[in-house]
Amino acid sequence: MPDGSGLPEKSVKTACPYCGVGCGVRMAMQSDMSWKANGDENHPSNFGRLCSKGSALGETLDLKGRLLDPVLDGKNVEWPVALDAAADRLSAIRKEHGPDAIAVYLSGQLLTEDYYVANKFMKGFVGSANVDTNSRLCMSSSVAGHKKAFGADTVPGAYEDLDRADLVILTGSNAAWCHPVLFQRIQKARAERGMRLVVIDPRETETSKEADLHLPIAPGKDTLLFSALLKALSQSGALDQQYVETHTLGYATALARAVELAPSMDRVCEETRLRLPDVKTFIRWFIETEKVVTCYSQGVNQSAQGTDKVNAILNCHLATNRIGREGMGPFSLTGQPNAMGGREVGGLANQLAAHMEFQPESVDRVRRFWNAPHIATTPGLKAIDLFDAIDRGEIKALWVMGTNPAVSLPDADRVRRAMKKLELLIVSENMASTDSMDNAHIRLPAAAWGEKAGTVTNSERRISRQRSFLSLPGRVKPDWWAVSQVAQRMGYAEAFSYASPAEIFREHAELSGFENAGSRDFDISAYASCSDQAYEALDPFQWPAPGGLIRTHGECSTQTHRFFAEGKFYTPSGKANFIAPARPELSVDLSVTYPLLLNTGRIRDQWHTMTRSGKSPRLGRHKEEPFLDINTADARKFHLTQGELATVESPHGQAVLRVNLTDAQTPGDVFAPIHWTGQNASAGRIGALLASHVDPFSGQPEAKAAPVSVKPFQAAFYGFVMSTASLDMTNCAYWAKVQLQDTIGYRFALTSYNGKGANKWMSDLLGVSGTELIQSTDKSNGVFRAAHLIDDRLQAVAYLSPQNDLPSWSWLETLFAKDKLEVLDRRYILAGRSIDGAQDPGPTVCACYGVGRNTLIDAICKKGLITTQALGEQLKAGTNCGSCLPELRSLIGGHDKTAKAKAS
């Protein structure tokens, strides 16, 4: 913590702002005053490990592109002016149209304290439950599945179970890329104890390549596979008849449905596209292994039948009493750093607060606790319905905090259009420009990671402190403060007089224990009276922590807590419910017009819409452009070639993506990552391609199965520019940008020079006169190369070609670091090759040491380095965070002759 001198101390313990693993981070100040991220060795979620994203956190702290002042109707203003306007306009809309004309859209990136205040403001005082969150898109099907089966949104187990299990099943999870530290924990247990790993995923991923068994299931068919498993369990000794009879309800109905869905193994294999021996092995392993953990993630949740998929998994664990016991249980891996914290405060529209819903007694309890005059009494609109209501003009005011719905929601173009209809759009944001801010009337500069303080909860119910180690820049303020100020101005000064996040946390903890007495799972009332100092020193702890257990604040609770070991659930009967799922169907069928099924997901080195991870040059080099993974046979059919651009179309929108041929993709299925926005690519918003089909129970939209068409993108010229200044690329038919070491790199394509020659077009783009460029045109192939220098220092390099054959730009990067460009350097820039003939290292595989794919292939093929250890010793690859180890192994497997011979 700051010591009052205005300078941070040397080292601050905090939590990673990215995924739901929730790693502890130690930020250490370096002698040059920069910050370096190290894993916190004492944090029970990661024990000192960080992945590539976490390791690069120190590179993402600059203020480039930040929103530093409140903005009202396009003008920078002081906070009181912006807050008065927000309060006056919200009050006027409520008066004229009622409370349900107001909505708030939150984020799993927010801290629990921010979430708590926003939820209390809306549900308790504005009087509307139209509070939803981007976690709706992430794991609301898990929430719905948990509630149906357990009577509460309870994740029963802990990460420790992954250390103790003998079989781990990852379904709908590319954990090697999306939860890397947890995946390394699984890998460690496999290496030490011979634990087996099964991966259920339609794609071959870096996770599935590591598995003992990969089941490349047809999209949407998970329920069928788990129904076949339940049926097999019923006929095997693994079924715990006594547990089922004593502690559950609905088994017979669920089993009857499973038999109906999976009448024979042949039928199951036909529908799931799986091989019979593989299905039999999966079932046999499950039956014969007592300690089984089934982890599921977005591949299960982001589905129009996500809740049924979750319940099909839970059914199998309930049938075998493999729940709440050491080394076994179903385990929902949350995507965002604080998806769980959002659920705890009631950040979903169908929850009230502290794991209470809208039953009259809960509403009354929360009303009394908050002393809330206008408490909402019925659930509000879930995300998709909420934005539909905006489109219809029913919701007039929206406050967006820490998220980017114009990119991340399905049918994103329609969402963007709908947001333009709002009478009042307030956006609380770190960044000055996002796709969702285009039409914001009020922009509030929000504190970013490193500046804000509070708590987050990870996938295993562990609450950790995020601590500030940077001072608030400009006029930036925490979100809880901004909401409290608006609430005070609307007449609720007493209820929103918070002076610190500690005060909010105490209230949140107190509410969790209020009239609880064991009736609700979420209870952290042991911390209801923790002092500011204790809050500051708070060590990570797992909930529940009920008041009777009063803990010594500041001490780390290392005790692992599991739910349901005693077979007591939160349903009215106290028993768990088996759920009979519906027949698995995709929400939309393929057609002649849209013959391919688009799957979407994350990549290893980027996070959501890249506002933070996109700042790191080493993370950007892993995947530099938005891309489409497509099977070679499909590419041939649709006339696509490796490295070309493709137009991807759905009934809802269009994207232009770089083609990546891969037999990891099953014919008929394609994959595209979700990270690119209108800020970093011309047409990379994958949300624009998705329909807003939702799960009937959770309201979570389908993001894994969208029918699309693909065709070659017609371009006349291809180019790249590396520039020290940001460029306006709107005249390019296609462009994508990436942060490089000293420059911003743009790849682009043109349909014409707009009647200009290459020199004029390029000088216009760079904002210089044609004579300021040194340039050359190769007459044999029409390639144009140019550079712009100021006082012999390189400012920009640009290449343009009529063919899609541009060289790597990596060797050019070093030239930007030179104070003075030599004559020879200039000559080689214009010749298009490096002075020393340096090999193009290719896309980065090891982000920590910047080791590229080509370098690694060379080392494997020419130097015979065919183990990860040998690659590590020679090139350092994989020796820091280890996130790239699966890719190193698959490169070795794909390129080492011995490994290939073995495989064949």
CA atoms within 13 A on the CB side of 729: 27
Work out whether 181 is an interface residue with ligand SF4 (CB under 6 A): yes
Tell me: does residue 733 bind ligand SF4 (CB under 6 A): no
The residue with its CB nearest to ligand SF4 is 54
Q: Which residue of 12, 23, 56, 509 would you call a contact of ligand SF4, by CB under 6 A?
A: 23
Write the DSSP symbol of residue 439: T
343 binds ligand SF4 (CB under 6 A): no
Helix (H) / strand (E) element for 785: namely: strand 783-790
Give 18 or 527: the residue with its C-beta nearer to ligand SF4.
18
Cβ 19 to ligand SF4, closest distance in Å? 3
DSSP string spanning 155-186?
----THHHHH-SEEEEES--HHHHSHHHHHHH
Our finding on whether 24 is near ligand SF4 (CB under 6 A) is no
- Residue placing its CB nearer to ligand SF4 in the complex, 148 or 612: 612
Least distance CB 15 / ligand SF4 (angstroms): 8
Q: Which residue has the tokens 């750093």?
A: 337
Q: Which is nearer to ligand SF4, 51 or 316 (CB)?
A: 51
Integer Cα distance of 863 and 844 in angstroms: 19
Stretch that binds ligand SF4, among 43-51, 167-175, 640-648, 663-671 (CB under 6 A): 43-51
Query: For the stretch 330-349, what's the b/e string if a residue is b when 16 or more beta carbons lie within 10 angstroms of its beta carbon?
Result: bbbbbbbbbbbbbbbbbbbb
Rank residues 107 and 775 by Cβ distance to ligand SF4 and give the closer one. Answer: 107
In sequence order, which residues have a C-beta less than 8 Å from that of residue 102 and are 6 or more positions away?
90, 93, 94, 122, 126, 128, 130, 395, 396, 397, 398, 399
For 416, residues 6+ apart whose C-beta sits below 8 A from its C-beta are 406, 435, 436, 438
Part in contact with ligand SF4 (CB under 6 A); list of ranges 153-161, 174-182, 501-509, 791-799: 174-182
For residue 177, the minimal CB distance to ligand SF4 (Å) is: 10
Shortest separation between residue 437's beta carbon and ligand SF4, angstroms: 25
List the beta strands (DSSP E) in 378-488. Answer: 397-401, 424-429, 442-445, 454-457, 462-466
- Which residue, 157 or 250, is less far from ligand SF4 as judged by CB? 157
Rounded CA-CA distance 285/213 in Å is 10
Least Å from the CB of residue 54 to ligand SF4: 2
Helix axis angle, 885-895 relative to 853-861, nearest 10°? 50
Burial (CB count within 10 angstroms: exposed 0-12, middle 13-18, buried 19+), residue 519: exposed
Residue 610 structure tokens: 């890249």
Q: What are the residues facing 777 on neighbouring strands?
A: 784
**What is the token pair recorded at 737?**
């940008």
Closest approach of ligand SF4 to the CB of residue 622, in Å: 14
Decide if residue 18 touches ligand SF4 (CB under 6 A).
yes
**Segment near ligand SF4 (CB under 6 A), from 17-25, 547-555, 639-647, 814-822?**
17-25
Determine the length of the chain: 904
Q: Does 99 bind ligand SF4 (CB under 6 A)?
A: no
Considering only 12, 19, 349, 877, the residue that binds ligand SF4 (CB under 6 A) is 19
**Interface region with ligand SF4, contact rule CB under 6 A, candidates 45-53, 94-102, 134-142, 163-171:** 45-53
**Residue 581, token pair as written in the block:** 């799922």
Determine if 54 is a binding residue for ligand SF4 (CB under 6 A).
yes
Residues 6 or more apart from 296 whose CB is under 8 A from it? 142, 170, 171, 172, 173, 309, 310, 313, 330, 331, 332, 333
**What is d(CA 401, CA 133) in angstroms, rounded to the nearest whole number?**
9
Among 26, 53, 506, 652, binds ligand SF4 (CB under 6 A): 53
The only residue of 108, 145, 156, 180 in contact with ligand SF4, by rule CB under 6 A:
180
Q: Least separation, in Å, of the C-beta of 528 and ligand SF4?
A: 28
Note whether 388 and 410 are within 8 A (CB).
no
> Which lies closer to ligand SF4 via its Cβ, residue 93 or residue 333?
333
Residues 429 and 443 sit within 8 Å (Cβ to Cβ): yes
Of 12, 13, 14, 21, the residue at the interface with ligand SF4 (CB under 6 A) is 21
Alpha-carbon distance 122 to 629, whole Å?
A: 42
784 forms part of the interface with ligand SF4 (CB under 6 A): no
The answer to whether 383 contacts ligand SF4 (rule: CB under 6 A) is: no
Going from the C-alpha of 304 to that of each of 116, 288, 336, 770, the distances in angstroms are 29, 32, 20, 55
Min dist CB 872 to ligand SF4, Å, is 20
For position 51 contacting ligand SF4 by CB under 6 A, the verdict is: yes
The answer to whether residue 450 forms part of the interface with ligand SF4 (CB under 6 A) is no
Residue 170 binds ligand SF4, judged by CB under 6 A: no
Asked if 26 is part of the footprint of ligand SF4 (rule: CB under 6 A), the reply reads: no
Binding marks (x or -) toward ligand SF4, 641..680, rule CB under 6 A?
----------------------------------------
In this chain, which of 8, 22, 44, 841 binds ligand SF4, going by CB under 6 A?
22
Residue 157's identity, in one-letter code, is G
CB 680, CB 620: distance < 8 Å = no
CB of 844 to ligand SF4, least distance (A): 16
Q: Which two tokens stand for residue 240?
A: 């715990």
Specify the residue, 179 or 652, whose C-beta has the smaller distance to ligand SF4: 179
Size of the site for ligand SF4 (CB under 6 A): 14
Beta-carbon contacts of residue 507 (< 8 Å; ≥ 6 apart):
116
CB of 397 to ligand SF4, least distance (A): 34
- Report if residue 27 touches ligand SF4, rule: CB under 6 A: no
Q: Which of 8, 26, 43, 50 binds ligand SF4 (CB under 6 A)?
A: 50
Under the rule (CB under 6 A), what is the footprint of ligand SF4?
16, 18-19, 21-23, 46, 50-51, 53-54, 179-181
